[in-house]
Structure 1
Amino acid sequence: MTIRAVVKGIGHYLPDRIVPNSEFEAIVETSDEWIRSRSGIERRHFAAEGQLTSDLAARAARAALADAGIAAGEIDAIIVATSTPDLTFPSVATMVQAELGITRGFAFDVQAVCAGFVYALANANALIVSGQAGRILVIGAETFSRLMNWQDRTTCVLFGDGAGALVLEAAEGAGTPADRGILSTDLNSDGRFKDILYVDGGTSTGTTGHLVMEGKEVFRHAIEKLAQTAHHALDKAGLTPDDVDWIVPHQANLRIIEGTAKRMQVPMERVVVTVQDHGNTSAASIPLALSVGKARGQIKPGDLLVTEAIGGGLAWGSVVLRW
Structure 2
Amino acid sequence: MPFKANRDRRHHIPKQRHRVTNWAPYDAGLRARGSLTVWFTAEAIEAWEAAPRTGRGAQPRYSSLAIETALTLRAVFRLALRKTEGLIGSILQLLGLDLAVPDYSTLSRRAETLEVPRQGCGGGPVHLLVDSTGLRLCGAGEWLMEKHGTKRRRTWKMLHLATDASTGYIVASVLTDSDADDGSQVGPLLDRADGPVTSFTGDGAYDRDDVYAEVIARYPDAAVVVPPRSNAVPSAAAEAAPTQRDCHLQCIAERGRMGWQRASGYNRRALVEADVARWKCVIGDGLRSQTDGRQATEVAIATSVLNRMLDLGRPEYVRVV
Higher strand content, 1 or 2: 1
Higher helix content, 1 or 2: 2
Larger radius of gyration: 2
TM-score range, shorter chain: under 0.3
TM-score (normalizing by structure 2): 0.26
